[in-house]
Structure 1
């Protein structure tokens, strides 16, 4: 269920007058609008508010007369500047804004992208929607209660004649004010531009019914999102448990006719160090063994060709970095590509290798679909004939392997697990035939879990 799309649909119905039924006994919105105009004119005359400036695009004939859609009979088209006063706050220096709230710096400070921190002074008190007017998130709407400071990048929305606070807040979100931002490196919203944005105004009592209905519906969606988050967490924990069962021999039944892992290792690599009687692994099934990672694969640390030689880059040979390991098991694309010349000065790993991030964000793992190279933050495990490449990937994806990486990491300013430490991690090894059965079962379960997650 796409709850974000449902929220937008609810707001869309609300702004079109289709969310709640109309009541013919309601005072028409046109009467409310006249009261608002009268109230604002009085305040302008008394010098308490300023008359809004007109944009260059504003004509004598209000552009909202060319209405974008039909509204109920007792509604009326107007503009934001007619029913509200939109007033940007005042500048405050960054040194006067603190990230943590304290007794001295106790007032929230709102800027173009929401709350910036806390300050010692305030310039507003009350309940207001606030429009962010500067930055990538300009047009975002915040709802503020109490005492606060609004910077010059935050537009405070003043209401009149008991216009419903929450109706105003939800309607401002529905208007998607970001669409009116300037298309520059630093997007911005001019107050005189958003003053002219057309808005359908419902009667006051209908505003209240609309905001109440939206609140109820959004509370249902909040509950659904909480359950979705819970289910996603449960799915992630289930996958971790599946891998844990897999590497301890509890996911699939054993077959006594399988060639034992220890015999396979001795046949392939007579010098392999096998510790099948390790105390930590006494509960492993018959036919399993324990060895170091280097006995079942070759570990290679990547390298980065010199950026000073542009001929190394721009070819079609994948150059994998840690960020490329963020997209699930199969790593099909790289953020950069090397030329053949660049490949020659790098360390090439074959398709089917398992890439493990060992500097910085330790433990990110990916199965390389295509042969390529990696940078120095990645150690690649190239499987031998003793291990199924997909099993090696799931082994390195397990929480057990991750915990071993963390224990072996050293750090001054950044966590590192070098090649020697990684290849000397002890790993449980099932018979080769069982490795294939384990992978098949893992992927069968993961497909079912992924299907459930995709439906959330």
Structure 2
């Protein structure tokens, strides 16, 4: 830390000199209950205040058995493992207990609690530098104790806190408005999709082009007749599933409800779920060959993402799951119902067990229209009723085959896609602007904190008591407590009861 330009009446010290710091205790989940003494875990840290709304509790006797880990009003807690940081102030009157993976900081003497919290938010990069671990980063109480801090006089600490809170309040209001806009844009996006897939978006267009359109029943009849004709000589023809339309909303006269089978192309495996897990284990993966398409491509929207491959021999065994240009891929587990339309140029490959692929008859149905329809809240409300697994949402081929799909003429599909693309491009631009402004607000917060802890946010007052005297009092109080046997003990790994 650069102390060459120390602000007047400031002094250089470490966190260990001005704060009591300790690691938490590993409470056992078998002791958790809905009432009693709340346990402060990392999930209760918001980056502002500790939130006990969803906190677990332990029996009241733990307050005595684990008194070393009592959390009091005004204490600061910080994440120590994984999500490092998020300094949060405990503002409840009732005591709580500190769980493992959290650090407790209790400012000594008259040190301003909010000043310490804001400093920790500013020192997030330092905390990360001190963290250890490969997959999961961790810091300890000793790591925090060693952090250097330029300590201003007590009166200036309060002025700094007041100024930060005033400036942050203005930023909070601006960010709240931006997030509200983002939410409204999401609602608007869904309303556009609903209007698109129910015919409302192109109502005027249909009125102007009525002479070019056939009825929905005539359109479906023509498609099915063509399918039967093309099937001739290929064995027994199976009619597509008939959709029960009695409970479905009304659609335009030139539209018709159909099953997914009516829209797929006349090819074997046009609608296909991925292979069983045992048929595609990770031990079959190779460095290059035939690509394995999974949820990572669908969720990211990038068909080139990922580097999982199988060799030609395995590909031939699983060729029924092969993809081709303009196929639609649907995610089945977790983030269900996400759709990707494969581009014209793709790597040859297969889908994995977490996807379904559909090859459409491109002469009657545009995959982009399917993506709009399948990702609309209008359809999601139908399949979410049936898509609940034991621990996560799960979609399957049976559910999709029983869903109702709307079919309109190819020229109207193109008109809908064009209108939606135009509207979505405007929404995308506004969402990008919101994200940029939110990022700018975040950078402004960091600039405010940086100025605050370098003495540039508020003016110094030479009449303030020097911070060195505040530090001397804290040291004297600690020495006195140590002589009297009242000094707080740093919590050990296993110890629960405080001893003096």
The residue number in structure 1 matching 2:187 is: 237
Q: Say whether the 8 Å CA contact 2:77–2:90 is kept in structure 1.
A: yes
Distance 1:152 1:286 in 2: 64
Residue number among 144, 158, 162 corresponding to 1:208 in the alignment? 158
Give the aligned CA root-mean-square deviation in angstroms: 3.4
Distance 2:102 2:244 in 1: 67
SS at match of 2:417: helix
- Residues 337-356 of structure 1, C-alpha deviations (whole Å, 9 max, x = no match): 33333322221122222222
Change (3 A) 1:96 1:212: farther
Q: Say whether the 8 Å CA contact 1:258–1:433 is kept in structure 2.
A: no
**Structure 1 position 283, deviation (Å):** 4.4
Change (3 A) 1:383 1:409: same
Distance 2:108 2:392 in 1: 55
The residue correspondences of 1:333-344 to structure 2 (distance < 5 A) are 333-334=305-306, 336-344=308-316
Runs (5+) with no aligned partner, structure 1: 1-63
Runs (5+) with no aligned partner, structure 2: 229-238, 265-269, 435-500
The residue number in structure 2 matching 1:374 is: 351
Q: Say whether the 8 Å CA contact 1:351–1:372 is kept in structure 2.
A: no
**Structure 1 position 185, deviation (Å):** 5.1
Q: Say whether the 8 Å CA contact 1:275–1:291 is kept in structure 2.
A: yes
Mapped pair 1:141 → 2:77: no
The residue number in structure 2 matching 1:317 is: 290
User: Scaled by the length of structure 2, what TM-score is found?
Assistant: 0.67
Distance 1:318 1:127 in 2: 55
The residue correspondences of 1:47-446 to structure 2 (distance < 5 A) are 67=2, 70-82=5-17, 84-89=18-23, 91-95=25-29, 98=32, 101-102=34-35, 105-110=36-41, 114=45, 117-119=56-58, 120=60, 121-122=62-63, 123=67, 124=70, 125-133=72-80, 135-145=81-91, 146=93, 147-151=95-99, 153-176=101-124, 177-184=127-134, 187-252=137-202, 253-254=205-206, 255-260=209-214, 262-270=217-225, 271=228, 278=245, 283-297=250-264, 298-303=270-275, 304=277, 306-307=279-280, 310-311=283-284, 313-328=286-301, 331-334=303-306, 336-346=308-318, 347-359=321-333, 361-369=335-343, 370=346, 372-384=349-361, 385-407=363-385, 409=387, 417-446=395-424
SS at match of 2:77: strand
SS at match of 2:279: coil
- Residues 397-416 of structure 1, C-alpha deviations (whole Å, 9 max, x = no match): 22233233235558677765
- With 242-251 and 152-161 compared, the bigger mean Cα shift is at 152-161
Change (3 A) 1:187 1:352: same
Q: Say whether the 8 Å CA contact 1:362–1:406 is kept in structure 2.
A: no
Distance 2:6 2:421 in 1: 53
Distance 1:211 1:97 in 2: 39
